[in-house]
Amino acid sequence: MLQHLSYLGIKLTDNDIVLFFARYADSQNLSYSQFSDAFLPTDGYFCRLLISKRLTYSQQCSNLHTFSDPTIHMYLSLFESIISVERAAESIK
């Protein structure tokens, strides 16, 4: 996992992964739905807004370009923010 994230430009430590798993996984395995929960809003109003959005798909979608570059950048920034919050929460404990 660290190698794949490093390839995308995210530098994490083993401890970062442990913190993420401790928060979102219920075992040593992280399911897709558990991973997705990390990106969903916790506020009910905003969660309903997100869930009610219609999905739109590109007619031509290759494995190499599933997301546009701006979308990839936003997801990576969000993931880095999640890790940053987990680090901050751990430092408070």
- Closest of 84, 56, 76, 73 to residue 5, by C-alpha: 76
Output the pTM of the full model. Answer: 0.71
The token duo for 80 is 């880095």
Residue span of the structural domain in which 50 resides: 2-92
Distance, CA of 74 to CA of 54 (rounded, Å)? 19
Q: How many domains does the chain have?
A: 1
Cβ atoms of 78 and 39 within 8 Å: the answer is yes
pLDDT digits (tens, 9 = 90+) for 75-87: 889 989 999 999 9
Question: Residues 1-46: pLDDT tens digits?
Answer: 667 777 778 888 889 988 998 988 988 888 888 888 888 888 889 8
Which spans in 25-68 are helix H?
32-37, 44-52
